[in-house]
Amino acid sequence: MQRRRLGTLEVSALGYGCMGLSYGYGPATDRQDGIQMIRAAAERGVTIFDTAESYGPFTNEELVGEALGPIRDQVVIATKFGWNIDPETGERRPGLNSRPEHIKAATEGMLRRLKTDHIDLLYQHRVDPEVPIEEVAGTMKDLIAQGKVNHYGLSEAGAQTIRRAHLVHPVTAIQSEYSIWTRDPEAEALPVCEELGIGFVPWSPLGQGFLTGKIDAAATFDSTDFRAVFPRFTPEARAANVALVDLLKRIAEGKKATPAQVALAWLLARKPWIVPIPGTTKLHRLEENLGSVGVELTSGDLHDIETSFAKIPVHGARLPEQVLKYSNG
């Protein structure tokens, strides 16, 4: 597995997004199956594993902690705080909470669930407009000084927030949705990351599965699957957006690859400090995703993708409005 750097943190070129094993894409995977998937990723060279206290809440962190316990010193665990979740009970409350005392309590809970004495990369999951980012960064600086956290990250943060945070303590990575059909970070987040030497971690690099070509207009989703209420996954939007998948399929045929591999290779080709974190519950999909590291897209391929993409309008907002309002803070 190739290696890349997020700021000063060295990781595998592809990470593994653990959320879908427990939360968000339908019923949770059997616990032992989930453990086996995480360990299978590690055995194949993946070193960065992404979770969050809100995935469950808590159940995904517990799964990750158990799965990676035997190889803890060989991997990077990334998790996130920031939603208003009771650190003890896991009760979800409305809105966000990044008050310093809450961050500290949340961190203690994360350490317990992950069965570790330190978190390699701790993200603020969403920017809290009620708490100055300087206070958040200062709290992270304290946690890092105490050895409880190694690296500080931000998720779905705007350029000015990133700059302000970075002045207080160096930011290692920004995590935001980014894929060939969600290009929002290109305007501000990627340029500021390049300027400041910050890594970028795209979540949903396969467009919640749509870019694999396995979801069509007739697909149905479980009531516990986020996509059941995502604007981009209405039957009408899926029927319109299949043109983008057709573009990926055309490129893939010439590369003897799959649409998913081309979508990931496209991200890897954007910048050497971009580390996508696709998730899957299936071993053959894990191996397919990891195969993207060997798919080389030439400058001609990339130009072809850009010019073709420019002619394809993407239908539907990337997230529901009530979630989108917390993004790009």
81 within some domain: yes
183 within some domain: yes
Distance CA 261, CA 258 (A): 5
- The 10s digit of each residue's pLDDT in 11-27 is 999 999 999 999 999 99
220 within some domain: no
Domain of residue 11: give its range. Answer: 3-208+267-294
Q: What is the pTM of this model?
A: 0.98
Domain count, the chain: 1
287 within some domain: yes
Residues 262-277 have a mean pLDDT of 98
Of 16, 23, 25, 55, catalytic: 55
What residue has token string 């949340």? 106
Residues 288-314 have a mean pLDDT of 95
Name the average pLDDT for the chain. 97
- In contact, 82 and 100? CB cutoff 8 Å: no
Question: Residue 259 pLDDT > 90, yes or no?
Answer: yes
Question: Residue 152 pLDDT > 90, yes or no?
Answer: yes
Is 55 tagged catalytic? yes
Question: Residue 148 pLDDT > 90, yes or no?
Answer: yes
pLDDT-derived band of residue 217, with 50, 70 and 90 as boundaries? Answer: confident
249 within some domain: no
**Predicted pLDDT at 230:** 95
7 within some domain: yes
215 within some domain: no
**Predicted pLDDT at 23:** 95
pLDDT-derived band of residue 329, with 50, 70 and 90 as boundaries? Answer: confident
* Domain harbouring 40, CATH code: 3.20.20.100
Question: Residue 251 pLDDT > 90, yes or no?
Answer: yes
**Predicted pLDDT at 216:** 87
**Predicted pLDDT at 248:** 96
Question: Residue 126 pLDDT > 90, yes or no?
Answer: yes
